[in-house]
């Protein structure tokens, strides 16, 4: 006879629905872990000590010319942006469409750039706020430069930390991909925000922010301009979103004061994840309104941070419903107190 789990009777598993997209997640409280049990050592990224780092010495390793560089007072660089040597998308004057029977395709036209910080070992969790603000500056500067290119309708900016998160080079860096299509995930958020506004005459993200600020139980950090919190329907344990407190559809319109506040919220969120989970692998990415010439007044830009605390298995792959084994409220409390 299978042993009964009495914990399930007092803490039943919950299905929680994303207010924006309508997606479901499972919060499996019946098999929940303690917060400290999620810490696990990252798999190391193998590096050849006899070869120069691609990003420490980009000229020596054949990287293309910089499209942006920030310099320090001593003349050395602190951040530089250059095209990816092995791009997923390449610039062309126009997007070429293709058809094959019932199928449709287009050329992989766009831009693929790397945003690289100077120190080979210091990641965002170990930087100060001004250093992170410089990264935010670079994100915005490159976004503005590329957003009006003919082949660009959406710009995705993301950061992979750790082998499990897809990083193949240990040197800290972010990536930017400017592409001709809008991803289904972003489109789902855009549609959800518009539908909620039609039904409620209010921004769905602003409604979430107001609730989280009032009740505080999922708040990780806040300052004058930004809120960092664990979403009610977190897809992963210790997932954190960083959002502007005021309604802001367009990341590129962020002013200097707001960028400092964003850097603080992002750095503290990542630092607390670093401390709580013993430097886990994670991804974070920016979701903002597309740059396709249309107006998106109901969207609210934000950054999503997802630590790698579990692997997808049969249920997740077959249903698309993710399982988290810690309540976001418990995760937020643990992060808040680091």
pLDDT at 93: 66
Interval 3-15: pLDDT, tens: 444 443 446 789 9
CA 39/CA 70 separation, integer angstroms: 35
| Region 32-54 average pLDDT | 75
First to last CA, the chain: 42
Could you give the domains of the chain? 19-43+183-336 (3.30.428.10), 68-179 (3.30.428.10)
pLDDT tens profile 71-90: 998 989 999 999 998 888 88
> Are residues 336 and 219 in contact, defined by beta-carbon separation less than 8 angstroms?
yes
**Which tokens belong to 272?**
């607390």
pLDDT-derived band of residue 31, with 50, 70 and 90 as boundaries?
A: low
Please tell me which residue, 282 or 7, carries the higher pLDDT value: 282
The confidence score (pLDDT) of residue 8 equals: 39
Q: In the numeric block, which tokens belong to residue 293?
A: 């010439």
Q: Tell me the HSE value of 327 on the side-chain side, using a 13 A CA sphere.
A: 11
């Amino acid at each position: 006879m299978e042993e009964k789990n009495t914990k399930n009777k007092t803490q039943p598993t919950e299905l929680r629905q994303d207010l924006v997209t309508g997606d479901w997640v499972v919060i499996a409280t019946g098999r929940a872990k303690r917060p400290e049990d999620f810490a696990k050592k990252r798999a190391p990224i193998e590096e050849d000590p006899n070869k120069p780092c691609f990003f420490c010495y980009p000229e020596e390793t054949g990287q293309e010319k910089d499209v942006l560089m920030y310099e320090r007072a001593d003349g050395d660089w602190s951040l530089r942006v250059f095209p990816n040597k092995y791009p997923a998308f390449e610039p062309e004057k126009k997007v070429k469409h293709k058809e094959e029977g019932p199928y449709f395709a287009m050329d992989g036209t766009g831009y693929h750039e790397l945003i690289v910080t100077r120190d080979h070992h210091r990641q965002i969790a170990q930087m100060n706020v001004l250093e992170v603000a410089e990264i935010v500056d670079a994100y915005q500067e490159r976004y503005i430069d590329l957003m009006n290119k003919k082949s660009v309708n959406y710009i995705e900016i993301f950061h992979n930390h750790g082998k499990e998160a897809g990083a193949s080079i240990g040197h800290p860096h972010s990536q930017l991909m400017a592409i001709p299509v809008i991803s289904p995930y972003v489109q789902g958020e855009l549609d959800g925000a518009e539908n909620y506004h039609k039904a409620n005459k209010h921004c769905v993200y602003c409604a979430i922010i107001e609730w989280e600020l009032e009740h505080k139980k999922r708040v990780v950090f806040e300052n004058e301009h930004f809120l960092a919190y664990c979403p009610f329907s977190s897809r992963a344990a210790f997932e954190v979103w960083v959002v502007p407190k005021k309604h802001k559809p367009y990341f590129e319109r962020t002013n200097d004061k707001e960028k400092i506040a964003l850097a603080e919220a992002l750095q503290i969120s990542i630092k607390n994840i670093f401390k709580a989970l013993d430097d886990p692998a994670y991804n974070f990415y920016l979701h903002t309104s597309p740059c396709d010439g249309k107006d998106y007044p109901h969207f609210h830009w934000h950054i999503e941070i997802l630590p790698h605390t579990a692997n997808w298995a049969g249920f997740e792959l077959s249903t698309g419903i993710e399982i988290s084994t810690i309540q976001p409220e418990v995760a937020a409390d643990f992060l808040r107190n680091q």
